[in-house]
Amino acid sequence: MCGIIGITRAPVGDGSGRSDVLEVLLEGLGRLEYRGYDSAGIALVGPDASDGLWRARAANGTRSLKDLTKRAEDAPELSSAGIGHTRWATHGGPTEENAHPHVDCSAGLALVHNGIIENHVELADELVAAGHRLRSETDTEVLAHLIEVAVSDHPEIGLVGAVRAALGRVRGAFSLAVVCSDEPDLIVAARRVSPLLMGVTGDSAFLASDIPAILGLTRDFFVLEDDQMAELRPGSLRVTNFEGEEIDPQRITVDWDLEAARKDGYDDFMSKEMHEQPKAVADTLLDRLLPDGTLSLDEMHITNAELRAVNKVFIVACGSSYHAGLMAKYSIEHWARIPVEIDIASEFIYRDPVLDPTTLVIGVSQSGETADTRIAMEEARRQGAKVLVITNVVDSSMARGSDAVLYTRAGPEIGVAATKTHLAQITALEILALYLAQARQALSPHDARVLFEQMGVLPDKVALALERSADVEAVAATYRDSPSFMFLGRQVGYPVALEGALKLKELSYLRAEGFPAGELKHGPIALVEPGTVVIGVATRTPIWEKMMSNITEVKSRGATVVLVANDGDEETARQADAVLWVPETEYLFAPIIDVVPMQLFAYHLARLHGLDVDRPRNLAKVVTVE
């Protein structure tokens, strides 16, 4: 959940002008802030060994990068290589001492790291006993000192050999980049589990943990795989395994441009990304509905025979991805008639789940890097289940570690709150539900065609729901001073309520809880008193009447009621103090539309409170630790 960038570049012009290594690093860090913003730091070396190493760090929450940029005014005019890091604190608080890059005792080498060194305590004890001075509480710093030990024991192995030797001592996950003033045009990188991409153009070579950070430099990337190292020099790249054998790195080309990773004139990424939802849904549907009205998911490389052999589906995910899974549970059971279990990944891992080769385990993760979900997928594979991953990130750790992948096509999401990736996940899961039904002949061709056609118009309906943003803002303004909110839904409306509550808590820091409306009388109704704001999902489903009875129950206890209702449904509107209108659709697809006013409500309420919607406190976009 930290961001890494590095670049080595031949000095510009005749070597006397200012090099732009620093500018590339700062710009890249700006695009990595969503990976964490507890601190930011850079280290520069070169162009001569005698120039030494220059480092600056800042730890000031969302102002970290601003502060770092100010400090960088004192950076040397000319440098040949540099590394940068944005941090989301895990080991050690969000302080400057704990900010990356970390250095060795002589401050001649610097290192940035993403991941966790599991045996850092024993290594730190050993290093301190040998006279090393560790200055931070991080797990990362031991690596800098281990490299220092390796270089001083065997100077002939150079930085590459020393990094290799140091990594031989550690357990855990890492992507890292190291620079050293003695080899001033070299960056050494390594990967185990945490992702790292590299690029080479002209007289430069660069790397990053995430594509947007270096998308301005190239669209062609080399992927560093697990247990590989890379040596980056100006204009060249050499990849080896940990034994030092040279490897041809895998190459990928992305079709996003830099604009896709910028705000496009919106006030914030969240707004931009919410408005990209019709496209995210449309793109995720693209090519998967064939002109003859059937579905094609050949890309998963799972045969119909294999799908027919599935006896149970197990969906595993976290946060909004879990809610997407919960929404799909209803569709898979209803259409494909396969029992579906669903669990939060961190619970699944330790509950000893019963799986076998006839179980299809579906991991849902926009990032494809979430530690809990990744470990759950590994456990499922260990038990012999077939593992399918639904993710937005091509070549992510989960995509690479599964039997099959179904990609959502939402493009990069920068805002910490999942919006367009969430809608794309629900869409992909609904396609999968219909595909399973098709493979198992659980749906008649006529019914399947009608449903596929309805999916085709979902992007327009999502766009209509978004057009009501100003109306939702007016409702949010009415209730801006409410200290807490209760979200209610039944059946497919229940996960919509959970998602509404999650969005509101993460963006507004207000108490917001989602409940199945039918469960009210078993406890939660005790929370309702005059003035309690209840937000109910009351779009038309087969159990709409039951939902409305629950709304009557809270109203009779004095609750103020805001209802999500289908356009023109005055019968529902009469029961509400305020209405969030949405277009109607087949009820099992309704979450794709009904969740939109929930996102808008949370977004507007947070802005009315003057909060940063893109970078909510205490949260990171990608959670790569358990």
Nearest distance from residue 104's CB to ligand AGP, in Å? 34
* Window of 78-86, 302-310, 364-372, 435-443 that interacts with ligand AGP by CB under 6 A: 364-372
Smallest separation (angstroms) from ligand AGP to the CB of 603: 12
Cβ(92)–Cβ(81) under 8 Å? Answer: no
541 lies in the site for ligand AGP, by CB under 6 A: no
List 386, 420, 503, 621, catalytic entry: 621
Q: Considering only 102-110, 297-305, 363-371, 508-516, which stretch makes contact with ligand AGP by CB under 6 A?
A: 363-371
Q: Single out the residue of 89, 360, 417, 554 in contact with ligand AGP (rule: CB under 6 A).
A: 417
> Which range touches ligand AGP (CB under 6 A), out of 30-38, 262-270, 319-327, 588-596?
319-327
| Structural tokens at position 461 | 């309906």
Binding mask 369-388 for ligand AGP (x = CB under 6 A): -x--x---------------
Any contact of residue 402 with ligand AGP (CB under 6 A)? no
Choice between 247 and 625, CB closer to ligand AGP? 625
Pick the catalytic residue from 2, 180, 420, 461: 2
Whole-angstrom distance, CA of residue 390 vs CA of residue 180: 40
Q: What is the DSSP secondary-structure string of 29-40?
A: HHTTGGG--SEE
Binding mask 483-522 for ligand AGP (x = CB under 6 A): -----------------------x----------------
Q: Helices (DSSP H) in 557-608: which residue ranges?
A: 570-573, 590-608
Q: Which stretch binds ligand AGP (CB under 6 A): 151-159, 178-186, 366-374, 406-414?
A: 366-374
Q: How far is the CB of 520 from ligand AGP (least distance, A)?
A: 25
Max Cα distance, the chain (Å): 81
Q: Which is nearer to ligand AGP, 349 or 417 (CB)?
A: 417
- The nearer residue to ligand AGP, 98 or 367, going by C-beta atoms, is 367
* Nearest-approach distance from CB 594 to ligand AGP, in angstroms: 16
Compute the least distance from the CB of residue 411 to ligand AGP, in Å: 14
CA distance 77 to 284: 47
Catalytic (active site) residue 318: no
Residue 328 near residue 432, CB atoms below 8 Å: yes
Query: Rounded CA gap, 609 and 611, in Å?
Result: 6
Q: Of 39, 175, 204, 321, which one interacts with ligand AGP (CB under 6 A)?
A: 321
Query: How many helices (H) does the chain have, and how many strands (E)?
Result: 21, 25
Subset of residues 418 to 437 that bind ligand AGP, contact rule: CB under 6 A? 418
Is residue 621 annotated as part of the catalytic site, yes or no? Answer: yes
Closest residue (Cβ) to ligand AGP?
319
Q: Taking CB under 6 A as the rule, does residue 551 contact ligand AGP?
A: no
Q: Can you tell me which of 366, 397, 469, 572 binds ligand AGP, judged by CB under 6 A?
A: 366
Between 249 and 415, whose beta carbon lies closer to ligand AGP?
A: 415
Q: Are 336 and 442 in contact (CB under 8 A)?
A: yes
| Closest distance of CB 324 from ligand AGP, Å | 8
Min CB(320)–ligand AGP separation in Å: 4
What span, in angstroms and rounded, lies between the C-alpha atoms of 273 and 280?
A: 9
Listed in sequence order, the residues at least 6 apart from 459 whose beta carbon sits closer than 8 Å to its beta carbon are: 278, 279, 281, 282, 285
| DSSP secondary structure code for residue 152 in this structure | H
Which residues have CB under 8 Å from 487's CB, separation 6+? 497, 498, 500, 501, 504, 512, 513, 514, 515, 534, 535, 536, 537, 598
> Would you give the DSSP letter of residue 434?
H
287: region left, alpha or beta (phi > 0 left; psi from -120 to 50 alpha): left
Does the footprint of ligand AGP cover residue 416 (CB under 6 A)? yes
> In terms of CB distance, is 319 or 495 closer to ligand AGP?
319
Applying CB under 6 A, does 319 fall inside the site for ligand AGP? Answer: yes
Residue 349, both tokens: 């891992």
- CA distances (Å), origin 541, targets 359, 378, 471, 538, 585: 30, 37, 24, 8, 10
CA distance 453 to 462: 15
Q: How far is the CB of 551 from ligand AGP (least distance, A)?
A: 27
- Whether the ω angle into residue 524 lies within 30 degrees of 0, i.e. cis, is no
> To the nearest whole angstrom, how small is the minimum distance from the Cβ of residue 373 to ligand AGP?
5
Work out the burial of residue 463: count CB atoms within 10 Å of its CB; fewer than 13 is exposed, 13-18 middle, 19 or more buried: middle
318 touching ligand AGP, by CB under 6 A: yes
Q: Does 277 bind ligand AGP (CB under 6 A)?
A: no
Binding residues for ligand AGP, rule CB under 6 A, total: 15
Segment contacting ligand AGP by CB under 6 A, of 135-143, 415-423, 428-436, 558-566: 415-423
CA nearest neighbour of 199 among 177, 214, 183: 214
Closer residue to ligand AGP in complex, CB, 164/615: 615
Residue the block writes with tokens 């890091």: 85
Q: Does an H or E element contain 448, and which?
A: helix 445-456
Query: Shortest distance, CB of residue 478 to ligand AGP, whole angstroms?
Result: 24
Q: Which of 380, 609, 596, 350 is nearest to 476 (CA)?
A: 609
Chain contacts with ligand AGP (rule: CB under 6 A):
318-321, 365-367, 370, 373, 416-418, 506, 622-623
Catalytic (active-site) positions: 2, 621
